[in-house]
Every structure is written in C-alpha cells, then in structure tokens.
Chains A and B, each alone.
Chain A
Amino acid sequence: MTAQIEITEVTKRYGALTVLENLSLSIKANEFMVFLGPSGCGKSTLLRMIAGLESVDEGTIAINGRRIDTLPPGQRDLAMVFQSYALYPHMSVADNMAFGLKNIGVPADVIATRLSEAARMLEIGHLMERKPGQLSGGQRQRVAIGRAIVKEPKAFLFDEPLSNLDAALRVRTRVELAQLRHRVKSTMIFVTHDQIEAMTLADRVVVMNNRRIEQIGTPMDIYTRPATRFVATFVGSPTMNFLKAKMDSRDGFATLTLPDGATLQTAMRSDGLAPGAYELGIRAEAVRPARAGETVTTSGTVEVLERLGDRTLLYIRLSDGSMIVAEDAGLSRAAIGDRMELTLDGSRVHLFDGEGRAFHAVEAAHG
C-alpha cells in the first residue's frame, strides 16, 4: 500500500522556459518528504508531474519500480490535497469523499466503511451531509484530507495545503498532520515555502531553488549543515548572519579575520581549505553578548531590538558598518544605542567560498 518513488533526470519546459532541469530524487517508502523552496522554484511543478497533472518532458518517474509518468493521473494510485482544497462545490462532504471510490467501482459497503473510518479519524462525522460552501476553511481542509485518505493511495501529495489557513489554525493543522502521518502509514510528499512546516513535518527535506535541488537532507542536516549559501539563507529565522572573512590556518584549524580586524578561532579543520577570502555564516543563536571573563570576538552598537518573549534579538552594527544579529535572553536589559561586546561560537560557523559551496565547523563533530 505504500510507495517508493524514483524520479530520474526529469526536465520540464514551458516553451523556451525551463522550470526543472535534469532533476533526480529518490523517496523511500513511508517517508514524509517535503519540497521546500521559494515561489517559482519548480517545487509545485515537480509535485504536479508526479501526480500526472503536468507532463514530463524528459526523464522518468517510477513508483515501486513501475514507470508511471506515461499513465493518466487516475491510474497512478495517488491522492492529492490541493492548496485551494478543490472540493466539488455541488456535492456533499460524503459525496466528495466517495466520488473517487465510486469511479473505480468500489462496493457501496466498502465505501461506507472507509468514509466512516476517515470521518472518525478527522472528526468530520457531523459535516458529512453539508456542502463545501457551508464549511469553514479548516473544515474544508479536513474534508480534502479525508477525500485523500479514503482512497488508500500508495502516496499522498500535498500542495501547500496549509497556506490558506489563518496562523492559529495552520499551527493546529500542522500538528494534526504530524499525528495523522503516524496513523496513516504511507509515503507523503508535501510542498511548502514555509520552512517551519518543512522542519516540523519532514523526515527529509528537498530544498529547491531556481530549477534544481540545492540539498536533500533531514531537517537538522539542512539547518546545521546547509550545502549551499542559498540553503543557509533560506532556512532559519532570523536569517543566518554573513560577514566577509579572511581565513588562515592555525594548528590545523581555521582562524578567521573579520572586517573590523577581530579574529575568531574556529573548530573547523583547515585541511582542504585554501587560505583566502570567504564568507562567514553564523546563526544568531551562536552570537551572544559576552559575559564577564568571556573572550570578546567583536563589538558594536545595538540598532534594533526584537523582544520575542523567550529570547531577544539584537541587531548590532559593527565598526566596519556591517550588521549582525545576536541572540540574548528573553529578559535582556540591552537597549537601543548600547555598546555591546559579542562572542561568536567558533564551533558553529560555516564558511562559503566564491561559488557558494559550504564548509562546516560541525563537520568534524559529526564526522
């Protein structure tokens, strides 16, 4: 009942415009795979190609070893939840869910059993006779998921299903999706531009940008070891800090000289790294105000304060004019205009070369 999906060297063009180029990807059975990327990166197109709603110009898509990209959508044994839900407006909830089953001649008693099972799971039993127009956004969302579940497909495809919900409902539905995922054992592909959805739901994330895959990895992999500068920028909030840095080797480890002359000893092995100019990437949580007695890496002036409750983000202007975001405790006493001494955690730095390739300090720790 579950599917291993193999995408091999797939290309998609609209006239002269190439939206996906020579893309290969393997999705394991029962895996929750998230396609993450900015608008227009081709993630929805890839999902729609798997669903059969877009043709494949080059390459193949196979499920459990059987090529499916030549089959019509209905014969691929997949179910999709659309961003707009795409419920049939003139059919009741029950008819919406039963339509796909009736089309393939599933016996009425089996349909009834599956419908009541899904209704119980999604708590929509009391809505079964209503029309989609009489439902709230969240309820429509559940019905759309229910319509997918009753088909008992080999894989579920979700096309930004949470983006039409308000913030509170989105969080709740996200949690419910995570729970659902463990009840319905099936392969799931989920398209989103929201990194929190990707981080919280995925077994693995495919970060896509500009027609191609930037990185495939677990959420923590993507976060702690971004493969490219794009991934480092796109994942994480606030965005990773980037500073120009000169790299030298000392005792086999990289030492960085920042634009204001400050030096930072890193935990990154320098073998294989050519000394020279790099871009230093460091997340806000690895930049803290220095406590008494701690090594001060650099200093600057607080320009903006963002109090988030559990933590405070300090936007600090360094002496060379560059901006760095540091994280402080929720009850930080920092004020705008304060002079602030900072310590940068040398074990959590990333270096990016001129081509956007990344090197990580944590690489040593993770092997």
Chain B
Amino acid sequence: MADAALSSPANRAAPAKARVQNVQAPLWRNALFVLPFLVVFVALLVVPLVWGIWLSLHKADAFSSGRFVGFANYVRLYNDKIFWQAIGNTFYFVLLTVPALAVIGLMLALALNSRTRTAAVLRTVFFASSVLSVTIVTLIWRIVFVPGFGLLATVYGWFGAAPPAFLSDPDLVMIAIAIATIWWCIGLPMMLFLSALQQIPGDIYEAAALDNANRWRTFRYITLPSIKRTFVLVVVIQIVLQFQLFGQAKLMTNGGPNNVSKPMVLYIYEAAFTKWDLGLGAAASEVLFVLILIAAMVQFLVSRRKGESA
C-alpha cells in the first residue's frame, strides 16, 4: 500500500515541484533593507575618509585640491617640532585623564551601587555633567581657574595666598584641562561600571561573606575579576575619546602657553582652517586616525575574547 502510493507518478512529481527554498540563501533584494544606512555610511564616512587620504597626498588649500606631492606632507609633519609636541601633549593628556576616569568612575560606581534614594540622586548628579556642552564646561572651569576673581582665587584669597596659575603656568595648564575633562566625562565610566556591578550575582557575595572575606579581599577577588572586561572596555573607550581632545584646549587655553597645551586635533584645526594648509591638516588627521585605530583594534580584540568565553 505504502509502496504503491510512493511510486505513483503524482507523488514522484511532487518533490521536484515543492523543492524547499534554502532560507539561508542570500537574497539580493534583502540588501534594500540596509541601503538607507549604507548610503549615509558611505557618503558621510567612507568617502571623507578616502578623500582625506587623497588630500593628504596633495598640496591643497581652500580653493583647490592642488597638485600631487606624494608623502611630502607627512615629511613636513615629521620635521615639524610643534606636531611632535602636539602628539606628546595628546599622550600626556590621555595619561592624565584615562586612568583617573577609570579609577574615579569605578570608585563612584562602587559607592553608588545601592538601591537607596540618595544613591539614585547622586548617580544623576554625577552623570549630569556629561550632558553639558564643551562650551559650558570650559566656561564653568574658567570661572574656577581664572586669576583674580575665580573660585580658586577667592578661596585662596581667604587665606591670603595666591592660587596656582592653572591657565598660564606651562606645568599646570594640561592638568587644568584634564581636571575639567574628568569632571565632564566621568558619567559614562561610572554608568558602565554600575551596569557591570549590577550583573554580578548577589549570591557569590553571600558565599564570600560566609567565606570570611573582608571588604578588601571581596573587592580584590570577587568584584574586580567580575568587572575586569568592563574595566578594559572603559579604558579603551576613554583612550579613543581623549585622543580627540579639542574643545577644552581650544576654549580654555587655545593651546598655549607656547603650545604646551596644544593637542593633535587643535594642530589639525589650525593647519587646515587657520593656515588653510588642508593637505598638511589631512596628513595629521591620518596620523591621528592610525593612533585611534590601534586603540579601537584593542577594544575589538577585547570584546571578541569576551564573546568567546561567554
């Protein structure tokens, strides 16, 4: 009975007709769904990137892309002491801000990781600075640092002392910019650490309490290993962000005195939009791009390893 049914012509034809389409097979019309994003991505990111590389190989100004000069712009950068100083300043700034952001962010997160109303209010307060624009932030900190009538000057004045010249002392200007930046950017690391802390299951803390672990050992052996990846993530994100220092330096010190607070982006800005040497600016941009790319690659490798072990 079953054999007869299987060998009937109608049944034999059926499998051919009803051939199941492979649902995994690529369908080109699906590309339409990503097209809107792709157009914007290519127009606003890929094209400028390629154009930037192309510009960096030309002697360009505001009126024309000029003539092809090969790596001449890069050679000029190599020989420009101020550019090297800008790179040094940028690294110094990253060194000043990133560890501080990571450590202070973690300490705030640890302190505010509770369900009390006070903690919720303080979380909002500490995050609030992140929503301000750089103009407001620098304005606030100029009012703090400015000699004569600034907050710092007033406080020092009560004790009859002169305040440190944060905006003019070559040894202090970068520190002043770093303080303002840390105050401005602390919200994101704090939030990232808070979300990581809240993912640690409560029962391993209970197990640790029964295991007689004191606060330090609990932090060192339970909390820290549990948020290790978030810590690396915060550091990498902040490296990428702080490499791009511009607004604070431009508005607080304008790179001075004597270029000691001039970061790479400010150097690029001045080359391209003050001296209208677009080729040189583009070349400096590519150097910065490579530096940030290295940092981003580290972030990528870290997050990929996280995916593998999960």
Contact = CB atoms under 8 A, between A and B. Distances in A.
A80 B213 contact: no
B225 A82 contact: no
Interface residues on B, range: 10 to 19
Contacts of A79: 210
Contacts of A52: 209-210
Contacts of A88: 204, 207-208, 221-222
Nearest to B226: A90
B40 to A, nearest CB: 41
Interface in A71-104: 72-75, 78-80, 82, 84, 86-91, 99-100, 103-104
Interface string B176-213: 00000000000000000000000001011011111111
A74 B206 contact: no
Place the interface of chain A in its size category.
Answer: 20 to 34
B217 interface: yes
Given A86-B203, A89-B204, A90-B225, A80 B212 contact: no
A73 B206 contact: yes
Contacts of A74: 209-213
Contacts of A99: 208, 211, 213, 221
Nearest to B310: A133
Greatest chain A CB density within 10 A among B208, B209, B212 is at B212
A169 interface: no
A51 B206 CA distance: 10
B214 interface: yes
A53 interface: yes
Contacts of A80: 206-207, 210
A103 B211 contact: yes
Contacts of A100: 210-213
A41 B226 CA distance: 34
Contacts of B207: 80, 82, 86-88, 147
15 contacts: A51-B210, A53-B206, A74-B210, A79-B210, A80-B210, A86-B204, A86-B207, A87-B207, A88-B204, A91-B221, A99-B208, A99-B213, A100-B213, A103-B211, A147-B211
Given A51-B206, A103-B217, 13 more contacts: A53-B206, A73-B210, A74-B209, A74-B212, A78-B210, A84-B203, A86-B204, A86-B207, A87-B204, A89-B226, A90-B226, A103-B214, A147-B211
Q: Would you list the 3 A-B pairs with minimal beta carbon distance, nearest first?
A: A74-B212, A100-B211, A86-B203
